[in-house]
């Protein structure tokens, strides 16, 4: 079902214009039901490659494909009308060459109808960001803790904890800005570095586990709603939807087993023959 409304969808330039004016609020979504609920409340919705973990039960984000990301992006775009939608480029879809990145980013945007892609990487990926931006694809960069690098990092660890690593992350963010990225996600870094990067850049920084110093925040929606098996320390749980689901399903199973559900009000009437 498509959504018809006179409210205009937030654009990439409008997100950029928030810098220094007001904080940007964002969450992830990968399906229509959640996207529809969160759409009017947020500036952008990220169809993150964390979909691999929260929707498919993978241990990390590496196993999701371009076609899956495009399909989840399409579900989110189709069921929203207000928030800008950004879709993650999955592992292996952009690292090899700018040309491959363009083909996959174009596929994701044309199938999903999203406004922009996000990709993880340091300075080595800046030329790819420039290649995409110069060809009409808005790019949100992602530096610091980059979950697609879980195997080289040896786990999900906070980054930038010594001077050398902090300087590298600052240089990564600067390189993406110079390449034309419209925003940068800062994940898993300490407040002084997040503040330094946010002050150094003219484009918005979006934090996840990166302190309130950032220009905006994003979280995985399942972590915020109490639907994740294990949420990271930096995520705040605002509701226990997991508990509500367990309670509702236990009540349903109990009523089915005791013959309480369905009752007359849930049954079709039988037409009496004359
Ligand atoms: O995949 C994801 O969900 C992300 C985070 C920044 C939220 O990249």
Q: pLDDT per residue over 182-230, tens digit each?
A: 999 999 999 999 999 999 999 999 999 999 999 999 999 999 999 998 8
- Within 8 A by CB and 6+ apart from 173, the residues are 141, 143, 184, 186, 197, 200, 201, 205
Catalytic residue among 67, 187, 222, 264: 187
Q: Which ligand 1 atom sits nearest the alpha carbon of residue 208?
A: 6
Average pLDDT over residues 256-263: 97
Q: Which ligand 1 atom sits nearest the alpha carbon of residue 206?
A: 6
Residue 123 clears pLDDT 60, i.e. is over it: yes
Mutate to test the pocket of ligand 1, among 27, 85, 208 (most ligand atoms within 8 A of CB): 208
Q: How far is the CA of 118 from the centre of ligand 1 (A)?
A: 9
- Closest by CA to 39, choosing from 81, 70, 8, 1, is 81
Tokens of 28: 């992830």
* Residues 232/209, Cβ–Cβ less than 8 Å: yes
Give the rounded percent of residues in the chain with a pLDDT score beyond 90.
93
Q: How confident is the model at residue 272 (pLDDT cuts 50, 70, 90)?
A: low
Per the model's pLDDT, the better-predicted residue between 3 and 59 turns out to be 59
Q: CA–CA separation, 70 vs 93, rounded Å?
A: 12
Q: CA–CA separation, 6 vs 90, rounded Å?
A: 33
Q: CA–CA separation, 68 vs 263, rounded Å?
A: 40
Q: How far is the CA of 260 from the centre of ligand 1 (A)?
A: 43
- Name the average pLDDT for the chain: 96
- Closest by CA to 1, choosing from 72, 83, 75, 82, is 75
Using a 6 Å CB cutoff, which residues line ligand 1? 28, 46, 48-50, 61, 88, 185, 187, 208, 218, 220
In order of their start, the domains of the chain are: 12-240 (3.20.20.60)
Mutate to test the pocket of ligand 1, among 44, 94, 117, 147 (most ligand atoms within 8 A of CB): 147
Q: CA–CA separation, 51 vs 221, rounded Å?
A: 11
* Residues 52/64, Cβ–Cβ less than 8 Å: yes
Q: Which ligand 1 atom sits nearest the alpha carbon of residue 49?
A: 1
In this structure, the number of other CB atoms found within 10 A of the CB of residue 58 comes to 15
Q: How far is the CA of 93 from the centre of ligand 1 (A)?
A: 16
Average pLDDT over residues 108-114: 98
Per the model's pLDDT, the better-predicted residue between 157 and 204 turns out to be 204
- The reported pTM is 0.95
Report pLDDT for 115.
98
Residue 4 clears pLDDT 90, i.e. is over it: no
3-state secondary structure of 21: coil
Is-catalytic flag, 187?
yes
Q: How far is the CA of 188 from the centre of ligand 1 (A)?
A: 11
In this structure, the number of other CB atoms found within 10 A of the CB of residue 59 comes to 9
* Residues 47/72, Cβ–Cβ less than 8 Å: yes
Average pLDDT over residues 31-57: 98
Report pLDDT for 7.
80
CA distances from residue 135 to 131, 138, 213 in whole angstroms, order as listed: 6, 9, 32
Q: How far is the CA of 251 from the centre of ligand 1 (A)?
A: 34
| Protein residue with its CA nearest to atom 1 in ligand 1 | 48
């Amino acid at each position: 079902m498509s959504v018809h409304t006179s409210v205009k969808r937030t654009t990439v330039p409008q997100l950029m214009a928030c810098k220094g004016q007001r904080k940007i609020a964002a969450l992830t979504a990968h399906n229509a039901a959640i996207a529809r609920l969160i759409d009017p409340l947020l500036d952008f919705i990220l169809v993150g490659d964390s979909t691999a973990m929260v929707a498919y039960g993978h241990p990390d984000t590496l196993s999701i494909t371009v076609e899956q990301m495009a399909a989840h992006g399409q579900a989110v775009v189709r069921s929203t009308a207000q928030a800008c939608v950004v879709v993650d480029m999955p592992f292996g879809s952009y690292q090899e060459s700018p040309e491959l990145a363009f083909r996959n980013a174009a596929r994701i945007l044309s199938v999903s109808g999203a406004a922009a892609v996000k990709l993880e990487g340091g300075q080595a990926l800046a030329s790819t960001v420039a290649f995409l931006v110069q060809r009409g694809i808005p790019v949100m960069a992602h530096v610091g803790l980059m979950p697609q690098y879980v195997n080289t990092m040896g786990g999900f660890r906070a980054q930038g904890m010594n001077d050398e690593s902090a300087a590298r992350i600052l240089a990564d963010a600067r390189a993406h800005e110079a390449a034309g990225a419209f925003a940068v996600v800062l994940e898993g870094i300490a407040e002084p570095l997040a503040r330094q990067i946010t002050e150094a850049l003219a484009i918005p920084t979006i934090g996840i586990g990166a302190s309130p110093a950032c220009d905006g925040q994003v979280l995985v929606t399942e972590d915020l709603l109490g639907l994740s098996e294990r949420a990271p320390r930096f995520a705040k749980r605002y509701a226990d939807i997991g508990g509500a689901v367990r309670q509702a399903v236990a009540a349903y199973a109990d009523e089915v087993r005791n013959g309480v559900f369905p009752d007359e009000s849930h049954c079709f009437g039988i037409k009496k023959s004359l």
